[in-house]
Amino acid sequence: MAGAIAYDRSPAADRRQGAPLIVTEDVELLDDLLRLCAAAGARPEVHHGVPEQRGDWEAAPLVLVGDDAAVRVRGAVRRRGVVLVGHDQDDPDVWQRAVEIGADHVLRLPDGEQWLVDRIADVAEGAGLPALTVGVIGGRGGAGASTLACALAVTSAREGRRTLLVDADPLGGGLDVLLGGETADGLRWPAFAESRGRVGGSALEESLPELHALRVLSWDRGDSVVVPPEAVRAVLAAARRRGGSVVVDLPRRVDDGTAEVLAQLDLGLLVVPPELRAVAAARRVASVVGMVLQDLRVVVGAGRGGGGLGGLPAEEVARLLGLPLAGELPVEPGLLAAQASGTPPGAAARGPLARFCSAFWERVPAEGGGV
C-alpha cells in the first residue's frame, strides 16, 4: 500500500528544501526517526512506500527506509543517500535487503542515533562545500598574527563571503577588541564550554556578534580561559559546515583544544619577522604545529626596520624553516592609529594589507584549500 501519513503535508511542505524522506509503517521506528529529525532541526516527509508524486523519491536529500518498507521500495529508481534503518541488531538478512534497494548505509538503532542525527542535520542545513578554514599563528610573540587574521577575515567579508573569525587564543586579549566590538551583543567562547556532540551551524552563526559584516567568536572579559576539546571540536565543525571562510587566530602553545582546531584547518599561515631569532623561535612552533597540520606556509612580516629592511630575504626565511612561502606582509602606514580609533586591520580596501589579503583569497582555492 502506498500512501502518506499525515505529517505537515501542505503544498509548501512538499517543496521544503532539506526535508528528509522517511518510508515506514513501523510505528515504533517512525517515532524514533521523528525524534531524531526533531533533534537535528529537520521536518521530514513521511510515506508508507515510494511517494506517488513524481520526483519526490529522487529529490529528497536523504531517504530513511525502515526494514518493514524495504520490499515496497525495491523497484524504486536507484539513487544515493538511501539509509536502511531498523532495530533488530541480529537480523541476518539486512545486508541483502540493503543491496536490493541500493542503500548506502545500514543503521541499527539506538546504536547509530548520533551518526543519523548528524546526517539529517547536514541535509537540513543544506550542507555543501565546507568553509575554507585558515589558521594564523605567530612564529614569535608580536609577529602580527592577530593583525593578519583580522585583515583576512575583514577582506573575506567585504568580498561577499560568509566569514567567521575565531579567536582560539584565550590569553590574547580578544579579537573583538581589535575589531572595535568588545561590547557587541552575542555569545563568547565560555558560553560553549558545555557543548557536546553536534552544534547547529545556523544557530552558532546567529548567536555570535556581527562586526564589519562578519561573525566573531572571541573571549569575554571573565576569568574562564578553558573550553574542553570536545566543545572546540563541535563548534569548529559547525562553523565549517556553513561554508564560506573561517579564519582562526591561533595561540603559539599547542594544548588539546588547539590540536582540535589544527585538525580542522585546511592550511596554516606562520607569521615570522625576517630576523634570525624570530626564525629560530618559529622553527619550534612549526615543528609542533606540523605534527597535526599538513599544509603550513610562512608569511614573512616586517622586521624591526619595517618592511623587512635590513632583515633576511623572505625566500631565505622560508628556506630556513623548510616551508612554502605564502607572501610578505606589507607595511601599512597609520595602521596602529586606525586600530586605536576602532578601525580594524584590512578595513581600508585600497590599503596594502587589504590588497595582500585579497590576493591571498584569490590564490588559495586554486592551490588546493578547502574550496
Residue range 130-175, pLDDT digits in tens? 899 999 999 999 899 999 999 999 999 999 999 999 999 988 878 8
CATH code, 56: 3.40.50.2300
Domain boundary residue among 98, 125, 152?
Answer: 125
How many domains are there within the chain? 2
pLDDT band at residue 303, thresholds of 50, 70 and 90?
A: low
The pLDDT value given to residue 4 = 31
Q: Report the percent of the chain where pLDDT is more than 90.
A: 63
| Highest mean pLDDT of the ranges 105-109, 126-130, 299-303 | 105-109
Same structural domain for residues 38 and 137? no
Residue type, 321: L
Same structural domain for residues 296 and 349? yes
Residue at 99 is within a domain: yes
**Above 90 in pLDDT, residue 25?**
yes
Residue at 13 is within a domain: no
Same structural domain for residues 214 and 335? yes
The pLDDT value given to residue 51 = 93
Same structural domain for residues 38 and 162? no
Residue range 334-352, pLDDT digits in tens? 888 887 777 899 999 999 9
Q: Which helix (H) or strand (E) holds 83?
A: strand 82-86
Same structural domain for residues 199 and 287? yes
In this structure, the number of other CB atoms found within 10 A of the CB of residue 350 comes to 6
Q: Do the Cβ atoms of 219 and 252 come closer than 8 Å? A: no
Domain boundary residue among 91, 125, 159?
Answer: 125
Same structural domain for residues 266 and 303? yes
Same structural domain for residues 31 and 158? no
The pLDDT value given to residue 60 = 93
Q: Report the percent of the chain where pLDDT is more than 70.
A: 90
Residue at 189 is within a domain: yes
- CA–CA distance, 87 with 110 (Å, rounded to integer): 7
The pLDDT value given to residue 238 = 87
Dmax (CA) of the chain: 82
Residue range 236-287, pLDDT digits in tens? 988 988 889 999 999 998 899 999 999 999 999 999 999 999 999 999 999 9
Same structural domain for residues 170 and 307? yes
Residue range 179-218, pLDDT digits in tens? 888 889 999 999 988 876 677 788 889 999 999 999 999 9
Same structural domain for residues 100 and 147? no
pLDDT band at residue 310, thresholds of 50, 70 and 90?
A: low
Residue at 317 is within a domain: yes
Q: Which helix (H) or strand (E) holds 8?
A: none
- CA–CA distance, 367 with 243 (Å, rounded to integer): 18
The residue length of the chain stands at: 371
Angle at which helix 352-363 crosses helix 145-158, to 10 degrees, equals 70
Residue at 367 is within a domain: no
**Above 70 in pLDDT, residue 50?**
yes
Domain boundary residue among 125, 155, 181?
Answer: 125
Q: Do the Cβ atoms of 117 and 34 come closer than 8 Å? A: no
Q: Do the Cβ atoms of 231 and 193 come closer than 8 Å? A: yes
C-alpha cell at 195: 557543548
Residue at 14 is within a domain: no
Same structural domain for residues 94 and 241? no
Per DSSP bridges, beta strands 267-272 and 163-167 are unpaired
Mean pLDDT of the chain: 87
Tell me which residue range forms the domain holding 169.
Answer: 132-362
Residue at 152 is within a domain: yes
Same structural domain for residues 245 and 310? yes
Residue at 15 is within a domain: no
CATH code, 191: 3.40.50.300
- CA–CA distance, 43 with 62 (Å, rounded to integer): 12
Same structural domain for residues 313 and 206? yes
Across the beta sheet with 63-66, the strand order is: 45-47, 21-23, 63-66, 82-86, 105-108
pLDDT band at residue 290, thresholds of 50, 70 and 90?
A: very high
Average pLDDT over residues 281-309: 82
Distances in Å between the alpha carbon of 217 and those of 209, 212, 298? Answer: 7, 13, 25
C-alpha cell at 368: 588546493
